[in-house]
Amino acid sequence: MSGINCCPVALTVAGSDSGGGAGIQADLKTFAALGVHGASAIACLTAQNPKRVLVVESVSPQMLRQQIAAVFEEMSPAAVKTGMLFSAENVRVVAEFFGTHAFHPRVPLVVDPVMVATSGARLHKPKTVDALKEKLLPLAALVTPNLYEAEYLIRRRLTSVEDLRAAARQIHASFGCAALVKGGHLRGGREAVDIFFDGRTELLLSAPLIKRVRTHGTGCTYSAAIAGYLARGCSLPHAVKRAKQFISRAIAGSYRIGKHSALNPLFR
């Protein structure tokens, strides 16, 4: 249609958070804040709030694939992120779709390997991590594990920034994708330090650690911001750097919802 400006599209394939602070809801708010049209494919439903996850129910693999196919049929996403996929079957559906006709030309895929909620709840079935490692990570442009998720992926403890550097390099060597290992859960630090490595470029990204704010949804928002900047045409290292600034502002601008705080992706 003439006279209408084009808007880049980013797709999130993730779980729905009934509390609105993480998952699909956080991703779509982030895309909107970056001037990107957000499309979604819901992999699972959760009954949760900032304090705890009550129950998780998976969407059928057939329904998940149809959602993704419907978006690609008409909307041509410029970037995709995955979040909580929950089941190994859904990981395989996503990997099969993105490993075939859908990525011509190749669309950057950001994988947030959602395994453990901020509340401590496990957010995957036992075989999901194996499917993620075997099927999805080799297709990714970037994987964004937090400290605990990185430990799951490389099977060893991480207790320092040097450990984060080694983990980012090991993840890249093992799966072929760039890694952003997030160190916000490192103990004793005054900075939230993340390490990015893509085989050539290493970035140490830091921001003051804000301890008074509960960071429910931080990983979702961070990875969505990276996908949003990729959809806007940024290179991967530049998208990661801008996303770090974005999530730091969102945390600093958090607001109260009931008894809890929520990230503010619109804060400037």
> 88-98 and 61-74 are packed helices; what angle lies between their axes, rounded to 10 degrees?
30
Query: Which amino acid appears at position 155 of this protein?
Result: R
Residue % of the chain over a pLDDT of 90 = 70
For the stretch 182-223, pLDDT in tens is: 987 787 667 889 999 999 999 999 988 876 666 789 999 999
- Residue 1 pLDDT > 60: no
Reduced to 3 states (helix: H, G, I; strand: E, B; else coil), residue 220 is: helix
pTM for the full predicted model: 0.94
Give 56's strand partners: 46
For the stretch 153-171, pLDDT in tens is: 999 999 999 999 999 999 9
Backbone angles phi, psi at 183, to 5 degrees: -105, 25
Reduced to 3 states (helix: H, G, I; strand: E, B; else coil), residue 165 is: helix
The one catalytic residue among 44, 217, 221, 244: 217
The one catalytic residue among 23, 183, 184, 219: 219
pLDDT averaged over every residue in the chain: 90
Active site residue 217: yes
Active site residue 182: yes
CATH of 9-262, one of 3.40.50.720, 3.30.450.20, 3.40.1190.20, 3.90.226.10: 3.40.1190.20
The one catalytic residue among 12, 118, 128, 215: 215
Query: Which amino acid appears at position 226 of this protein?
Result: I
Active site residue 128: no
Pairing of strands 142-143, 37-48: unpaired
